[in-house]
A and B are shown apart, each in its own frame.
Chain A
Amino acid sequence: EAGVAQSPRYKIIEKRQSVAFWCNPISGHATLYWYQQILGQGPKLLIQFQNNGVVDDSQLPKDRFSAERLKGVDSTLKIQPAKLEDSAVYLCASSLMDRDYEQFFGPGTRLTVL
């Protein structure tokens, strides 16, 4: 079974530039999560989708971050414009709707903002 796919794996940008991350969850997983993990900290949930609807985006800085999951499968997370403090690993995870306690994480995208 293929795992959660993410791209790119690494991205370096300058502050005020824009960046987008892509995630393809495990086939059949209705729930998709985006987390931000700053070095030395645990992952912090940014947004949670169930199919193509947003369940929770209370921690998403909506002035600069946006995310979508138009067809209920792939998802993209965008930052515009980026700030230095956005440097982190962005993890995508997915789970079955009735087993949301077991989340499967992708390899993450390491973002460096200079």
Chain B
Amino acid sequence: GQNIDQPTEMTATEGAIVQINCTYQTSGFNGLFWYQQHAGEAPTFLSYNVLDGLEEKGRFSSFLSRSKGYSYLLLKELQMKDSASYLCALGNQGGKLIFGQGTELSVKP
């Protein structure tokens, strides 16, 4: 099977940097995905990593280390609108995604 662990909740301050970690146990996967989900809304795709290393997209970056079973999402210059749940997901053959429970991020002024 595949298991994913993320912290349940995090709090950060507007303008700061926050790192949301994701650890996983799996025998294999194609890629590691991050989705953002605002309360009461649908998840939206943020980024994905296939190879080890850092992928940067504006204020968001995602990192993957396959050997360590570890990924993180880095959010810079936090804004109030970044308050949301951040979902880590393992991507398997054919587009099948296995999601973690999500990390609820609260951004405070």
Contacts and interface: CB of A to CB of B under 8 A. Distances in A.
The 7 closest A-B pairs by CB, nearest first: A100-B95, A42-B99, A105-B42, A105-B43, A43-B99, A102-B45, A42-B87
Please classify how large the interface on chain A is, using the bins under 10, 10 to 19, 20 to 34, 35 or more: 20 to 34
Interface string B70-109: 0000000000000000010101001111111110000000
Contacts of B4: 42
Contact of A40 (B30, B43, B99, B101): B101
Interface of B is mostly: strand
B33 interface: yes
Please classify how large the interface on chain B is, using the bins under 10, 10 to 19, 20 to 34, 35 or more: 20 to 34
Contacts of A91: 42-43
B42 A44 contact: no
A55 B31 contact: no
A48 B94 contact: yes
Interface of B: 4, 30-31, 33, 41-45, 48, 87, 89, 91, 94-102
25 contacts: A4-B42, A33-B95, A40-B101, A41-B101, A42-B87, A42-B89, A42-B99, A42-B100, A43-B43, A43-B87, A44-B99, A45-B96, A45-B97, A48-B94, A55-B94, A56-B94, A91-B43, A95-B95, A100-B94, A101-B91, A102-B45, A105-B42, A105-B43, A105-B44, A107-B42
A41 B88 CA distance: 12
